Amino acid sequence: MIRIGEMLVTPESMGGMQSWEKAKIIKMMSSYNKVYQYNSLDELEFDLEVKVKITRAAKLLYKSGAEFETFKNSRCNPVYWILHESGAFFLKLEASPQKAIDDIYFNGRLYAFECATAMVIVYYKAVLDILGSGKFNELFSDMILYDWEYNKNLDLHSSTSTDFLHGDCVYFNNPDFNPQTPEWRGENCIVLDEDLYFAHGMGIKSGEEIMAILNYLRKKNPTEPSYLETGRIRLNYKTYYGANRPF
C-alpha cells in the first residue's frame, strides 16, 4: 500500500493522473501489504519516474544489439573503455561517463558482457536519464563495468523482501547448471511488469520462459529445477531526489 503523509493512496484515487506505465506501478505497489511511505506527492512521482526510467533503460539495452558473453569473451568500444583481461571495462581517463554509457546503447553491436554487468549498465543509464549528463559525469568519473562492481554513488540496496516492483533486479537460480557452462548457473533480470523480465542473453520473457531456458541448460540427470529467488536489488530513489534533473 502507498501512503503520502497519513493519507492512503489507491489506484482509484490516482486515476487519470498518471501515465499507463506509472499506473501499473501504483497498482502493483498497492497490492502488497508493505507500506510505501512518502512525504509528498512530488516524492511519489519521482520514485515512479525512476522506476519507469529503469524499465525503459532495460528495454533499450535489449534493443541495442549488445550481446551476452562470458567475462573471458567480453568486448567493448575502445574509444571509451579499456578492456581488462578479467572482462572488466575501465572508463578511459579522457572519456565522458555519459557518452560512454550512451555508446553502449547507440553502438551495442560493439559490446558483449554477462548478465550482472548488464544490470549495472541499466541502472547507470537510468541514473543518467534522471540526473542529466553534468551531474552524472561528476559522480561517475571512475566508472568500472564488471559483474556487480559499481561506483558508490550508484545507490543499490539488496533485500530479502519479495515485494518485486518495476525496475527491481531479481535472480533466477539454476542449482543444477551444467559445469561446462557456469554462466548459466542463474540469470539476473530487471522486472518490467508483473511476471515480465528483461534477461540479458534471453530477451524479454516471463518467469516461466526464463526457468524453461535455464532448465534446458542444466547438467545431465538434474534433480532440482530453476526457481525465482526471494530477494531483490532496488535503486534507492531518495539518493537522487532533489538533485538537479532534466524532468
Establish how many alpha carbons lie within 13 A of residue 64's alpha carbon, considering only the half-sphere containing its beta carbon.
30
245 belongs to a structural domain: no
The phi and psi torsions of 149 (rounded to 5 degrees) equal -85, 135
pLDDT in tens, the chain (247 residues): 999 999 998 888 876 667 889 999 999 999 999 999 999 999 999 999 999 999 999 999 999 999 999 999 999 999 999 999 999 999 999 999 999 999 999 999 999 999 999 999 999 999 999 999 999 999 999 999 999 999 999 999 999 999 999 999 999 999 999 999 999 999 999 999 999 999 999 999 999 999 999 999 999 999 999 999 999 999 999 999 987 555 5
89 belongs to a structural domain: no
Q: Which residues share a beta bridge with 112? A: 67, 75
* Cα–Cα dist 183/161, whole Å: 25
* CB burial readout 230-245, b (16+ within 10 A) else e: eebbbbebebbeeeeb
Establish how many alpha carbons lie within 13 A of residue 158's alpha carbon, considering only the half-sphere containing its beta carbon.
7
- Which of 63, 53, 57, 54 lies closest to 107 in space, CA to CA? 63
- Which of 90, 89, 97 lies closest to 113 in space, CA to CA? 89
**Cα angle 60, 84, 99; round to 5:** 40
Grid cell, residue 202, equals: 534471453
* Cα–Cα dist 145/90, whole Å: 7
223 belongs to a structural domain: yes
CA 162 vs CA 34, 67, 168, 183, 218: distances in Å: 10, 29, 10, 25, 26
Domain count, the chain: 1
216 belongs to a structural domain: yes
> Are 72 and 84 within 8 A, CB to CB?
no
204 belongs to a structural domain: yes
207 belongs to a structural domain: yes
What residues make up the domain containing 201? 159-232
CA 45: distance to chain centroid?
A: 19
205 belongs to a structural domain: yes
- Which of 114, 218, 221 lies closest to 175 in space, CA to CA? 218
**Cα angle 219, 85, 106; round to 5:** 90
Calculated CA dihedral for residues 200, 236, 239, 198, nearest 10 degrees: 20
228 belongs to a structural domain: yes
